[in-house]
Structure 1
Amino acid sequence: MKLLEEMSWPQIEEGQRESRTVILPVGATEEHGPHLPVFTDTIEALVVARAAAQRRGVFLAPPLHYGVCCSTRGFPGTIAVGHDALRAYAKDLLVSFAESGFERALILTGHAGSQHISALKEACQMALQECDLSVSLVSLFDLIDPKAVETAGDGHAGEIESSMMLAIRSDLVAELPGKHSPQRPRFLILRSVRHLMGNGIMGDPSLATPEKGRLFLEMATEGVIRALDELESDLWRA
């Protein structure tokens, strides 16, 4: 693994003789129920990205700590940016990776809100118009096999995230609450849904265990490695 933030420019240049691929972990700073810290999305993406980078010998960039958070706005600790801000920031980072000598970049996001994902996808598309860079966008939760999760439709701060945090930083996990599934309108657009979110959980953290967390993290790591295989292959090039 090549930890970008700890390297000098000559070390980076030397490292690029072996690999010109970089992983950018993206998270969020937002509430994760009464039992998980607000940097949950970021640290989960960073841990998986670090494991994949170590196995493949690629570069690992410093994480992006802020994202687009809609459902959790209004909770203490949710510090969000807008769609356009994240899109512009992520696009500039991708272009700068290319200017710095990288040929491939994989964005791994630990936050999976729809507007957040949309902003990152648009950023990738915009960067491709400005520079010669191959880019992949991977959501951590797309890499978890649903068959390994007891909670159907598990989501924010539920079984999956609570399990991973128990495996990563159990010292930061408070007593696990029970299942909570807030109801929200299907079609109605609201200015805020804070009044509908209850304790901020969308899933069942009571089913979380460290063993499940280690399993989920390994699934995600293997998924990132498969994504790197695709990114570094010539099969899809025009």
Structure 2
Amino acid sequence: MRLQHATWQEVDAYLRRETGIIVPIGSTEQHGPNGLVGTDAICPETVAWEVGERYGVLVAPTQNLGMAQHHLAFPGTISLRPSTLIAVLRDTVISLSRHGFTHVFFLNGHGGNVATLSAAFAEIHAERSMGYGPQPVGELHLTTHNWFAGSRVRELAESLYGDAEGTHATASEVALSWFARPEAVKHVDMSPRIAPRGSAQCDADEFRRRFPDGRMGSDPSLASIEHGERFLDASVSDAWEAYRAFIRPI
């Protein structure tokens, strides 16, 4: 069930039986020679929609813009400042809390968002504890699950790609985005086959000097639509397991 395709009455009915919601969050940034600029949003959105269809969980609209400043030397990248993203996440949570959502599960597709998500959660909880500013109403629980870090996904990536998976513009994320958007598949020869490795802790110009075509340690030419279908199944299992544990901890 997708929030943007529901009426307010349907959301109200959902809240009478369930108070958890999945919020896909990603980024709009370069993903190398054959990766889509929207990869980091397409992937968690695709996983979230499938979880929602299989298990009846409400899925919020995707937060498509993230913290991607280190990719800004590549055309097409759009980045928020960390402070801007924190404000967006805070307002999203407060809005959902007002209506009675108690468990907000951010399904993340971009490693660069992780620190900002943690900071946003800290801000929200601090406001609750200190009693200032607009505050979430009642019980509130927040968590992040990175679709690419689940055990099933990692095992599959290792078996298919080994060291060629890399850390950005990875074969696994390219494969999943291709399965979701097969009309946008790009076939490009990679040179070198496996991209340089290194840290992304730098500004945009330095990042492009370190990683000229945008890849980090990866060979995404190994990706395929068939692999993407397998990654979807693996990531849905990982995400559903994490969501159930979050909603109803043992």
- TM-score by length of structure 2 reads 0.85
Corresponding letter in the other structure for 2:125: L
| 1:27 partnered with 2:39 | no
| 1:173 partnered with 2:185 | yes
Helix, strand or coil: the match of 1:174?
Answer: coil
- Following superposition, the deviation at residue 127 of structure 1 comes to 2.4
Aligned to 1:135: 142
| Contact 1:166-1:210 within 8 A present in 2 as well | yes
| Contact 2:34-2:221 within 8 A present in 1 as well | no
Q: Unpaired runs of 5+ in structure 1?
A: none
What is the count of residue pairs matched by the alignment?
231
Aligned to 2:241: 226
CA RMSD, aligned part only? 2.0
Residues 98-142 of structure 1 deviation map (CA, whole Å, 9 limit, x = unaligned): 1121111100111112xx210011212332343331112011111
| 1:157 partnered with 2:172 | no
- Following superposition, the deviation at residue 226 of structure 1 comes to 0.8
More displaced stretch, 204-213 vs 23-32 = 204-213
In the aligned structure 1, how far is the partner of 2:189 from the partner of 2:239?
Answer: 30
Aligned to 2:131: none
Q: Unpaired runs of 5+ in structure 2?
A: 129-135
Percent identity between matched residues is: 26
In the aligned structure 2, how far is the partner of 1:217 from the partner of 1:34?
Answer: 22
Corresponding letter in the other structure for 2:109: G
In the aligned structure 1, how far is the partner of 2:197 from the partner of 2:50?
Answer: 36
Aligned to 1:51: 50
Corresponding letter in the other structure for 2:117: L
Helix, strand or coil: the match of 2:87?
Answer: helix
- Following superposition, the deviation at residue 189 of structure 1 comes to 5.0
Helix, strand or coil: the match of 1:13?
Answer: helix
Corresponding letter in the other structure for 2:243: L
Corresponding letter in the other structure for 1:34: P
Aligned to 2:115: 118
- Following superposition, the deviation at residue 76 of structure 1 comes to 0.3
1:234/1:45 CA distance change after superposition, 3 Å: closer
